């Protein structure tokens, strides 16, 4: 009798593809779920901008606000009539999902193991989920920056001019996407432009290399120049929380690694070993002849330069968000090395499990509090006010008016709300007082005193996530707790 044929075996080269498909689906589910919470202050302002302009052209030429993230505002302009607020976040979700295969493409030239690990880190990262599920421009900036890096590395490879031109065009278009999404993408573009220039000029045909470098950067440079004359030279800025760039960068990196502790001392327990391993990895890349070490090194140095020489009036960790995917690049390369040593798979599994556990802890907290619970806070005041009219005051007129003007018409029904500004609070008493805070702030004090006014008792607290959002501590003249 003839021997039975052996059972078919799965082609191992398909495993990374299956893993990538799974991670794309996971990234989509996590981001879509994260859209189901209240719009926060900056999203409402962005929607106000989209409602105020008369044409798409005015988004680029008439707004002059730092809250105008061009592509996001253009999308909001197109969907502004939708009643479902989650629709406003769908463009960011699409860009956030696209970041996962873009990350895979970035490292696929090195190894599929590194590519899959990077895709997994990008899919499960809480900061990346957070900003790819809100109606602002950070998600597009992340996607464009990662695509630009991946295309530039391929453009610099020793190959034909056709490949160089195709990848150069991809690089330029990706940077246009990033710049039009959010200007913090320049923190990636400038290191890429400088690093590629140094690499090209180190090659034998310097003139051709210099022309290629200038050509691939011409498109984003032209777009940024046009934005400067149309909008940026007239730009006005809103205020923000007091925070130093060093503290903001430390918080962002610790959250990116899933480190839940908030005090500065414990953050360095994670950051110092990571910095040492990153330097070692860059040295190994340089020794192996991988010229992309130059690009990564300049990307990592850029936020340090900003901390030394820039003194912004206010700062938020999200301003350095575009650096996060490239932190994961070095981390993915380092983790893939574990596969080359004995018991490496066990160690790799343990490290990734710790990463996922930390990100899950942050993500689940975010699902509970969102970017603030303004609708819940307003409903609380409605439920505990017996009279038809609700009088509200606050420590932040601009924030409170922006938030209440958006949510009150959707929740009041036949009730009325009157807002008492700061300058009128002494003459016109309010029923409720809203104390605004950031997600990393504790609730307001138990009692608030004002001269010649009754004491305010803390009645309820509605928290917010750390990276963006508004927390409300609500006070009443009568202790309700």
Q: Which two tokens stand for residue 407?
A: 């949510």
Residue 192 has pLDDT above 50, yes or no: yes
> Do the beta carbons of residue 68 and residue 46 sit within 8 Å?
yes
Q: Above pLDDT 90, what percent of the chain?
A: 65
Residue 368 has pLDDT above 80, yes or no: yes
> Do the beta carbons of residue 243 and residue 315 sit within 8 Å?
yes
Pairing of strands 432-437, 447-448: unpaired
Q: What is the pLDDT of residue 156?
A: 84
Q: What is the pLDDT of residue 56?
A: 95
CA 209/CA 224 separation, integer angstroms: 23
Q: Above pLDDT 70, what percent of the chain?
A: 94
**pTM summary value:** 0.93
Residue 232 has pLDDT above 70, yes or no: yes
Average pLDDT over residues 238-249: 74
Q: Residues 6 or more apart from 327 whose CB is under 8 A from it?
A: 253, 256, 278, 300
Instruction: Provide the 8-state DSSP code for 417.
Output: E
Average pLDDT over residues 409-428: 91
The CA-based angle 275-280-284, given to 5 degrees, is: 145
Average pLDDT over residues 290-312: 86
Number of Cβ atoms within 10 Å of the Cβ of 221:
15
In terms of C-beta density within 10 A (0-12 exposed, 13-18 middle, 19 or more buried), how is residue 155 classed? Answer: buried
The CA-based angle 277-120-304, given to 5 degrees, is: 40
Average pLDDT over residues 364-380: 95
Q: Which domains does the chain have, with CATH numbers?
A: 13-369 (no CATH), 374-476 (3.40.190)
The CA-based angle 400-46-471, given to 5 degrees, is: 35
Q: What is the pLDDT of residue 6?
A: 47
Q: What is the pLDDT of residue 5?
A: 44
Half-sphere exposure of 415 (CA within 13 A, CB side): 20
Average pLDDT over residues 281-307: 88
pLDDT band for position 273 (50/70/90)? confident
Chain centroid offset of residue 420 CA: 34
| Whole-number Cα distances in Å, 55 to 74, 77, 78 | 9, 9, 10
Q: What is the pLDDT of residue 478?
A: 80
Average pLDDT over residues 442-449: 90
pLDDT tens per residue, range 13-32: 789 999 999 999 999 999 99
DSSP string, 263-299: SHHHHHHHHHHHHHHHHHHHHHHHHTT-THHHHHHHH
Which of 288-297, 323-332, 374-383, 429-438 has the least mean pLDDT? 288-297
Average pLDDT over residues 67-77: 96
Phi-psi region of 418 (alpha: psi -120 to 50; beta: other; left: phi over 0): beta
Q: Residues 6 or more apart from 192 whose CB is under 8 A from it?
A: 148, 149, 152, 171, 175, 295, 298, 299
Q: What is the pLDDT of residue 1?
A: 37
- Mean pLDDT computed over every residue of the chain: 89
pLDDT tens per residue, range 104-141: 999 999 999 999 999 999 999 999 999 999 999 999 99
Q: What is the pLDDT of residue 322?
A: 96
Q: What is the pLDDT of residue 8?
A: 45
CA 266/CA 284 separation, integer angstroms: 29
Q: Which parts of 182-337 fold into alpha helices (H)?
A: 186-201, 206-230, 245-256, 264-287, 292-309, 324-336
Strand partners, 462: 472
Q: What is the pLDDT of residue 316?
A: 84
Average pLDDT over residues 75-102: 95
pLDDT tens per residue, range 342-366: 888 999 999 999 999 999 999 999 9
pLDDT tens per residue, range 200-226: 877 777 777 778 888 899 999 999 999
Q: What is the pLDDT of residue 10?
A: 45
Q: Give the 3-state secondary structure of residue 133.
A: coil
Q: What is the pLDDT of residue 7?
A: 47
pLDDT band for position 241 (50/70/90)? low
Average pLDDT over residues 231-260: 81
CA 336/CA 115 separation, integer angstroms: 9
């Amino acid at each position: 009798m003839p021997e039975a044929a052996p059972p078919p075996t799965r082609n191992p080269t398909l495993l990374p593809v299956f893993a990538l498909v799974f991670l794309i689906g996971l990234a989509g589910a996590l981001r879509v779920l994260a859209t189901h919470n209240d719009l926060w202050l900056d999203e409402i302002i962005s929607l106000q901008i989209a409602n105020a302009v008369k044409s798409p052209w005015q988004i680029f030429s008439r707004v002059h606000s730092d809250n105008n993230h061009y592509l996001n505002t253009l999308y909001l302009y197109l969907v502004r009539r939708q009643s479902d607020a989650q629709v406003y976040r769908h463009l960011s979700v699409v860009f956030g999902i696209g970041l996962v295969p873009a990350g895979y493409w970035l490292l696929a030239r090195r190894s599929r193991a590194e590519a899959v690990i990077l895709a997994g880190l990008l899919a499960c990262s809480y900061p990346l989920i957070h900003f790819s599920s809100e109606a602002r421009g950070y998600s597009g900036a992340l996607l464009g920056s990662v695509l630009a890096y991946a295309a530039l590395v391929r453009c610099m490879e020793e190959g034909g001019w056709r490949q160089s031109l195709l990848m150069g065009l991809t690089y330029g278009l990706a940077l246009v996407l990033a710049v039009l999404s959010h200007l913090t993408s320049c923190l990636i573009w400038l290191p890429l432009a400088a690093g590629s220039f140094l690499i090209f000029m180190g090659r034998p045909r310097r003139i051709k290399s210099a022309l290629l470098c200038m050509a691939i950067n011409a498109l984003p440079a032209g777009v940024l120049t046009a934005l400067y004359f149309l909008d940026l030279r007239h730009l006005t800025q809103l205020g923000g929380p007091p925070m130093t760039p060093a503290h903001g960068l430390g918080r962002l990196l610790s959250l990116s690694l899933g480190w839940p502790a908030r005090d500065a001392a414990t953050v360095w327990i994670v950051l110092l070993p990571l910095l040492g391993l990153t330097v070692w990895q860059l040295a190994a890349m340089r020794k192996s002849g991988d010229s992309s070490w130059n690009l990564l090194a300049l990307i990592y140095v850029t936020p340090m330069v900003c901390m030394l020489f820039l003194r912004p009036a206010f700062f938020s960790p999200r301003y350095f968000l575009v650096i996060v995917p490239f932190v994961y690049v070095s981390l993915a390369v380092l983790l893939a090395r574990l596969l080359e040593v004995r018991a490496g798979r066990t160690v790799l599994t343990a490290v990734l499990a710790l990463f996922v556990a930390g990100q899950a802890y942050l993500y689940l907290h975010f699902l509970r509090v969102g970017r603030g619970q303004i609708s819940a806070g307003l409903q609380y005041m409605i439920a505990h006010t017996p009279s038809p009219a609700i009088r509200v005051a606050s420590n932040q007129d601009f924030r409170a008016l922006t938030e209440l003007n958006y949510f009150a018409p959707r929740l009041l029904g036949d009730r009325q709300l009157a807002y008492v500004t700061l300058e009128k609070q002494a003459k016109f008493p309010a029923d409720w007082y809203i104390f605004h805070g950031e997600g990393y702030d504790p609730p307001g004090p138990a009692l608030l005193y004002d001269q010649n006014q009754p004491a305010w008792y803390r009645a309820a607290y509605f928290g917010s996530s750390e990276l963006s959002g508004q927390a409300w501590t609500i006070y009443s003249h009568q202790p309700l707790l």
